[in-house]
Structure 1
Amino acid sequence: MSESLMHLHFLSLILLCCVFPSRSFDLHIDNSTYVACGPHQSQALADFMNEFDSSHCNLTDPYNGVWCDNSTGVVTKLQLRECLSGNLKPNSSLFRLHHLRYLSLRHNKFISSSIPSEFGNLNRLEVLSLKNNGFVGQVPSSFNNLSLLSVLRLSRNKLTGSFSLVRNLTKLSYLALSHNQLSGTLPSSLLTMPSLKYLNLHGNDLTGSIEFDNSSTTFSLQHMNLGNNHFEGKIIEPISKLINLKHLDLSFLNTSSPFDLRLFSSLKSLLYLDLSGNSISPASLDTNLYNIPTNLEVLFLSVCGITKFPNILKILENLEVIDMSNNRIKGKVPKWLWNLPRLTTVFVPNNSINSFEGPVEVLVNSSVKNLSLRRNCFEGEIPILPLSINFFAASKNRFSGSIPLSICNYRSLTYLRLGYNNLTGPIPQCLSNLTLLNIRKNNLEGSIPDAFHMGASLRTLDVGHNRLTGKLPRSLLNCSALVFLVADHNMIEDTFPFWLKALLNLQVLILSSNKFYGSISPTGQGPLGFPELRIFEISDNKFTGCLPPRYFVDWKASSLTMNEDGGLYMVHSGSIYEETSFYNIIDIIDLRYKGLSMEHQWALTLYATIDFSENRIEGQIPESIGLLKALISLNLSNNAFTGHIPLSFSNLRKLESLDLSSNQLSGTIPSGLGSLSFLAYINVSHNQLKGEIPQGTQITGQAKSSFEGNAGLCSLPLQETCFGTDAPPTQQPKEEDQEEEQVLNWKGVVTGYGLGVLLGLAIAQAIASYKSEWLVKIIGPNKRLSL
């Protein structure tokens, strides 16, 4: 964008955003007039924007904007998030905005630079947020000049150093420095700052203990998060003096001695306590005395080595949420747990619990709405649930029998996970009313109910690995919010569901190992559609047809932002957050990846995969597949593809697994594949390929079997050498340039070729005239020079 265009672009932001008076940040809207920022301030703003690539700025984002004082025209508030890319320099025009009181530059892409000390010159700042910008190094000491600062957010950077930065910030009430690399000890002066109420230091490298002096001190802290650090020595006893704490997170500290919950008895106001990942003193769990904060509403004891339900829970009458996932609890869930009057959420996945104490109706009158029993040892029929149940997860147990029809009586039930059990019988029609249904890997029979009503809230449907027959229900078209559809490893017999392209939110479609048949090519030669699709797996069916060249055009998987780290992102399931965050998390799926069939649980939209293997698809592989820059796995094996391997494969810079084996592909392997740095697995065996195998590091390290069955291939890792043969050179990767750039490239090639020919002729003439005897000596009198 040119400077003038950028200037107008940002002025439009100034004129269109709401205006705030300096004395308050109450929204002021006037549809007939606006108050623009002063000319000097506007110029500074425009100059600041011109320092960066701001092409991704979303002017309609309600969080972005500029606010100016009505009377003076000075900028008092600036908020630009997920918007700027470049280097924030010390001489930035940002630091000309001396009247700023509120500055938020969260989630930008400032290129690995330190935080400029010039921020200390903005001494009117009351709120400063630089979260998640990639800043490195120490926080400048000039921050001590920001004496009016009340909110400071520097989380999710790569900051180092200690806490001297806040010694003069007496008005600071909110400090967030989580997920950095801060080190050293935690000074008691930080915890006793007169106005500080919120402190988040989660995920740093802090060590040592906490020491308070004996003088009487007023503690203002109400919210403190010290989790995921490396504290040693005394920490619980000093923290017990912070008597105003309401929220305390000490998870995964790995202190040398177990936590004694009795030391928290002084924290009478404590509502939220997270001790996950620490060892807990058994004596403090078994006591019935009132020696812990009885007002607790949320208690996390995940990964604490607990072997039974703590008796201390009995006295927590205000408890609403309990998470004891990933422990070693055996036996039965005690009956008394369900008598806690305000209990709404119980998460106990990844234990060895086998049943409920008391009669089968023990849960009915409970107030529980969210219950997770995943990865335990429950057997028999699914229990009768509380009438108020909203979320029920019981996958990976040994439940048997049919899905009870009584489940239709739970009108609040929205999320149901019953996968990986031994359930039989049909799928009740009432389950079509859910938002999430996962009944994967059971022995269910019949067909998928064709009962999805108009406006159904279904987002996730996974019925894979059962014995289902029939067709995909056409009433799925009523599920406009559907994101995740998995029906693999059944006996569904149907044609390809082109009609699903009407579901504009569909991102995952897995139909592998069924009896689907017919063409997968849309009418005409246009693209397939399904623009939001990320995971597309239809292997092991009877699909036919040819894929037109534009088959993959317009897919969102062409975005590089889906997989910027170049690898799969694994989700470790088990915690309460992962259980309930189904909007971002895919349940376990079967993925053919790097030559193996594996089960994985991955975060949705971070990558793209395509698996068309074991069908009867013919014709050429579409060049448009090279547009899918977020593709990490491509499997087209065991089909009847012909023609060359597309040169556009060289554009798949994130590709980690490529399987083209057992087709009828010809020609050479594009040399560009040798430069794909993430390509860990490639298999082109049993085709009709020829020529030299590209010699990139990723390819030469492959198994010999990945290239066998191609009579014309040579070079490593095969034993056949290309030296002295007439093997054709490998193809060069096709540049992904615009038409004008291609014309320029060809002009360069022609020019270079012409000069090369002239120079070559001159050299040849010289050699022929003066060096013929020398050449004969090297080549030999009876040898031919092969050109």
Structure 2
Amino acid sequence: MRWFIWLSQLFYLLLLLHFQFTSSSSSFFPLLQHYCAPKSRALQSASFLCDNSYPKMKSWKVSTDCCSWDGVTCDRVRGDVIGLDLSCSWLYGTIPSNISLFLLPHLQHLNLAFNDFSFSPISSGFGQFARLRYLNLSGSWFSSQVPLKLSHLSQLTSLDLSHNGFVYLEASFMKRLVKNMTKLRELQLDEVDMSLVSVSSFMNLSSSLTSLTLEACQLSGRMSNNIFHLPNLCELNLKENRELMGVFPMANWTNPLRFLDVSSMTFSRELSKSIGNLNFLRNLGLNECSFTGSVPTSLGNLTQLTHLDLSYNDFSGEIPSLLSKLKELSYLALQFNQLTRLIPASLGSLMKVTEIFLKSNNFIGHIPSSLSFLKDLRSIDLSNNNFEGKIPNFLTNFRKLIEVDFLSLSIKSKLNYSFLALQHVKLVSRNIIEFPNFLTLSKKLDYLDLSNNRIYGRIPEWMFEIGENLSYLNLSHNFLSSIDRIPWKNLIYLDLRDNLLQGKFPIPPFSTEILFISNNSLTGNIPSMICNISSLRLFDISHNMMDLRMNNFHGAIPDTFAKDNQLITLVFNGNLLEGLLPKSLVNCKKMEVLDLGNNKINDRFPYWLEALPELKVLVLKSNRFYDPIGNHKTSGNIFSKLRILDLSHNEFTGFLPRNYFQNLNAMTTKDEGKKQQYMGETDYYQDSMVVIVKGLDSKLQRILTIFTTIDLSSNKFEGEIPKLTGHIPLSLANLSALESLDLSSNRLVGEIPIQMTSLTFLAKLNLSRNQLTGPIPQGKQFGTFENDPYYGNLGLYGFPLSIECSNDELTLPTLPSIFQEDNVSLFSSGFGWKAVLTGYGCGLLFGLAMGYAVFKMENLNG
């Protein structure tokens, strides 16, 4: 039973509980005791962001007072339910509008953060809690527009709708919020889409505000500096609003700000000296703000500062020595600026610093020995500067140093010291020719990146002993010749791309999630036990994730896909694979892309793949699949998320299965207004494929998640075109963005529907070689077509044909010789279907084609 059913019952009973405490009758008490705690399941959710998540309702006992239950708070005198904290409680599903939660009139505190509400809209019912002071719906996978009713909660002091991903807020809501929520102290809307909101709305925010976080809200325009003058503001976060501009107050800027982050906003001038007046500031984020000029010395006044990020600007000149006054500083980031000259020795007095990033500036000279005093230093990046000399050996004294990068310093593989505590080492593009042996004693190493160097030969034996904790290893773009084994048992990421590796395919450990080993010279078979690595998510042996295309692999696909595996994309396109599809593919419950095109697989249609709940792309083109598609009993939930289906160039026969086309829900869902995303998009990989668009092969380097296509061409289907949605002509008229329509060389009958004149984007039409009758529709796009689209339909008449009425007769012209073979009828050996449906959203390319396949070529090949 879904959670909201019994949760709804619970809130109803909590309401009754309120009446029990306020009524003079005690006869309700036994009944309430009986229903107080419904039996619940251990519900799973998306509460992974919580430090401590568990199903709070599971501990609720029938024999105890409801007001003592975990997460429930009651008024001590009246017994009213005034607080409900079900954050991180493994709730999932949707919230119905009639749930009894919305009947709790005395509720003052409601926290449903970090659950999974399945992209359901935020209910307007939340606006009914007139006494509500605290509302937190953050990180719970809500979607759609924030209901206007929430702006009526005039008693709110804290509102958090952040980190839901698909929630947007309109200008009218913001105006009413400013007007009604005069008691608001905390407003957190991070990642809520506010692109429709004018920044002028923030000029009249409540002076009571202590916290305002609007990170990544797609705000644009020029923010008034009034927001920096709010008298009680302690936290202000405007970062990641790249179209937002601002100006800091030039003078008299004092308030209790402790946290200020405006990273990625645009401030096209020098950083105001008045920032040094924010005496309480502890965190200052000015990353990527287009600041120029010198780093103001007034920053030295911020003696409580622990975090300072001035990276990715155009600051020039020296690092002010006055920064040495920041005795509480633990994080200093000045990378990617134009800072010059020597690193001041005074930085060695920042005794609490744990991380220093000075990468990509113009520093010269030697690294100051005073840095040896920074005993808590854990991470330092001095790369891409103009330092002289070698790595200073005093750095070996840092027992806590876990990350180091000295890109521009001279690195020799044989050093007379080692870094015992190193956990993170990045030596990229360093011209290194051997594995640096100062790592030989780095037993705690967790991250090692030696990519883009000139390391050659075999991986030395001592590398296999550098640490059981190694989880990330990148040796790509070197000249390695062999790797006999991969012994690191905790390895998660391994990148061996673009080397000279030869020999058999190395078997990765069972912990591996990401394995890149493309562009080498490996030979032999891929071990079948690869399929048993249930954690494997990305596997690149050519160009893409789990991408085995164009490697001339042959034989059958191993039937060893383990249960609960993590595979998202599997591409075997363009090989010589044959035999049957392995039934164990049904274990790939997270599979989104399955591309087996251009092989020699000989099997019936794998209807059992409909059991893959996340499958979005299915490509079986150019194989030897045969028999009808629809001869089986379905599970009822048929490919509901499928957006790309390519069954072309096989030997399928019979009628097209209506049940499949009627259940392709993802292809008919409008995705207007959604953020542009790509399939398989990660930091390492994006899905790609070749599709047919308007009759031509088109390589999609990235596949938009809203892209849809169907290709059934070059088979032997017969019968009617299946109804996509209702009557075919009506459904075609609803494809408002249709640009290309090809229904040629079929057996279509009846009239061309007048509704198709509404297709104002239609640029290409082909209805030739059918049995259509009646008048040709007139007007709009149909006025631009000549005779060719109607060629070969005996019963059609009207403009642009010379036949003006139905009594005229027209002799069907003789077919070109390519369509004839030994006087055999065009349709005697079956006819080809082609259906290509491509869409990039409203107003862009959207095409549908169901046409003739050249059977002479099929017969020659078959």
State yes or no: 1:166 paired with 2:228: yes
Change (3 A) 1:456 1:549: closer
Q: Partner of 1:722 in structure 2? A: 800
Distance in 1, matches of 2:760 and 2:351, equals: 56
Change (3 A) 1:611 1:58: closer
Q: Partner of 1:774 in structure 2? A: none
Q: Tell me which amino acid in the other structure corresponds to 2:72.
A: H
Distance in 1, matches of 2:718 and 2:168, equals: 44
Q: Partner of 2:259 in structure 1? A: 197
Please state whether the residue corresponding to 2:578 is helix, strand or coil. Answer: coil
CA deviations on 1:477-529 (whole Å, 9 max, x unpaired) are 33334333222222222211112222333333222222222222243799782
Aligned pairs (5 A) from 1:219-618: 220-222=281-283, 224=285, 226-227=287-288, 229-234=289-294, 244-246=305-307, 248=309, 250-251=311-312, 258=338, 280-281=360-361, 295=377, 297=379, 309-311=407-409, 335=436, 344-345=446-447, 355=455, 359-361=459-461, 363-364=463-464, 365=466, 367-371=469-473, 376=477, 380-381=481-482, 385=486, 387-388=488-489, 390-392=491-493, 394=495, 397=498, 401=502, 403-407=504-508, 410-419=509-518, 423-432=522-531, 433-434=533-534, 435-436=536-537, 437=539, 438-441=546-549, 442-523=551-632, 529-558=638-667, 560=669, 562=671, 564=673, 569-570=677-678, 578-579=683-684, 586-602=686-702, 605-618=705-718
Q: Tell me which amino acid in the other structure corresponds to 1:404.
A: F
Q: Tell me which amino acid in the other structure corresponds to 1:621.
A: I
Corresponding residue pairs, total: 648
Q: Partner of 2:187 in structure 1? A: 128
Q: Partner of 1:773 in structure 2? A: none
Alpha-carbon contact 1:673-1:694 (below 8 Å) kept: no
Change (3 A) 1:563 1:549: same
Alpha-carbon contact 1:59-1:65 (below 8 Å) kept: no
Q: Partner of 1:35 in structure 2? A: 81
Change (3 A) 1:157 1:68: same
Aligned pairs (5 A) from 1:51-62: none
Please state whether the residue corresponding to 1:551 is helix, strand or coil. Answer: helix
Alpha-carbon contact 1:114-1:138 (below 8 Å) kept: no
Q: Tell me which amino acid in the other structure corresponds to 2:607.
A: F
Alpha-carbon contact 2:729-2:755 (below 8 Å) kept: no
Change (3 A) 1:657 1:191: farther
CA deviations on 1:44-76 (whole Å, 9 max, x unpaired) are 999xxxxxxxxx98799999996999xxx8211
Match of 1:185 among 229, 243, 247: 247
Please state whether the residue corresponding to 2:586 is helix, strand or coil. Answer: helix
Please state whether the residue corresponding to 2:227 is helix, strand or coil. Answer: helix
Distance in 2, matches of 1:722 and 1:295, equals: 81
Alpha-carbon contact 1:75-1:99 (below 8 Å) kept: yes
Q: Partner of 1:137 in structure 2? A: 198
Match of 1:210 among 258, 271, 283: 271
Distance in 2, matches of 1:237 and 1:687, equals: 81
Aligned pairs (5 A) from 1:660-679: none
Aligned pairs (5 A) from 1:39-118: 74-79=131-136, 94-104=151-161, 107-111=166-170, 113=172, 115-116=174-175, 118=177
Distance in 1, matches of 2:176 and 2:745, equals: 61
Alpha-carbon contact 1:520-1:543 (below 8 Å) kept: yes
CA deviations on 1:252-304 (whole Å, 9 max, x unpaired) are 889996456976958776667889xxx924656996977799945497999xx
Q: Partner of 1:149 in structure 2? A: 210
Offset at residue 77 of structure 1 (A): 1.6
CA deviations on 1:171-193 (whole Å, 9 max, x unpaired) are 42352343253214345789986
Alpha-carbon contact 2:771-2:794 (below 8 Å) kept: yes
Please state whether the residue corresponding to 2:243 is helix, strand or coil. Answer: coil
Q: Tell me which amino acid in the other structure corresponds to 1:726.
A: E
Distance in 1, matches of 2:595 and 2:610, equals: 15
Match of 1:651 among 731, 734, 756: 734
Offset at residue 654 of structure 1 (A): 6.0
Change (3 A) 1:132 1:695: same
Q: Partner of 1:744 in structure 2? A: none
Please state whether the residue corresponding to 1:543 is helix, strand or coil. Answer: strand
Offset at residue 387 of structure 1 (A): 0.3
Please state whether the residue corresponding to 1:477 is helix, strand or coil. Answer: helix
Q: Flag structure 1 segments of 5+ consecutive residues without an equivalent.
A: 1-7, 20-25, 47-55, 580-584, 628-643, 729-787
Offset at residue 156 of structure 1 (A): 1.6
Alpha-carbon contact 1:65-1:78 (below 8 Å) kept: no
Change (3 A) 1:527 1:654: farther
Alpha-carbon contact 2:504-2:524 (below 8 Å) kept: yes
Q: Flag structure 2 segments of 5+ consecutive residues without an equivalent.
A: 1-7, 19-55, 58-69, 84-100, 107-115, 317-335, 385-404, 413-417, 540-545, 807-862
Offset at residue 428 of structure 1 (A): 0.7
Change (3 A) 1:486 1:662: same
Change (3 A) 1:295 1:481: same
Change (3 A) 1:214 1:353: closer
Alpha-carbon contact 1:188-1:212 (below 8 Å) kept: yes
CA deviations on 1:370-414 (whole Å, 9 max, x unpaired) are 34567x47674467546045444648636564552443xx13212
What is the percentage of aligned positions where both structures have the same residue? 22
Normalization by structure 2: what TM-score?
0.60
Change (3 A) 1:596 1:396: farther
Distance in 1, matches of 2:437 and 2:671, equals: 47
Q: Tell me which amino acid in the other structure corresponds to 2:548.
A: R
Distance in 2, matches of 1:372 and 1:460, equals: 22
The alignment yields a C-alpha RMSD, in angstroms, of: 5.7
Change (3 A) 1:672 1:565: farther
Distance in 1, matches of 2:179 and 2:137, equals: 20
Distance in 1, matches of 2:753 and 2:519, equals: 43
